[in-house]
């Protein structure tokens, strides 16, 4: 199951952080986050076929 990580401040999707000690970065807020700080959603509901 694919996980998607979102910014807890603005709700945008996060990119991987290049800063040591952080996992994710929001390019909009210019903030870095650890995995425990971010909003994690799974994609299970988007994979249903008709």
Binding residues for Zn ion, rule: CB under 5 A, are: 7, 9-10, 26, 28-29
Strand, coil or helix: 26? strand
**Rg from Cα positions in the chain:** 12
Smallest gap from residue 32 Cβ to Zn ion (A): 11
Place of tokens 């700080």: 37
CB of 3 to Zn ion, least distance (A): 17
Chain residue whose CB lies nearest Zn ion = 7
Number of Cβ atoms within 10 Å of the Cβ of 38: 18
Provide the minimum distance between the beta carbon of 49 and Zn ion in the complex, in angstroms, as a whole number. 33
């Amino acid at each position: 199951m694919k996980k998607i990580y979102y910014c807890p401040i603005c709700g945008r999707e996060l990119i991987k952080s290049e800063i040591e000690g952080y996992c994710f970065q929001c390019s909009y807020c210019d903030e870095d986050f650890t995995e425990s700080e971010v909003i994690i959603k799974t994609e299970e509901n988007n994979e249903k076929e008709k």
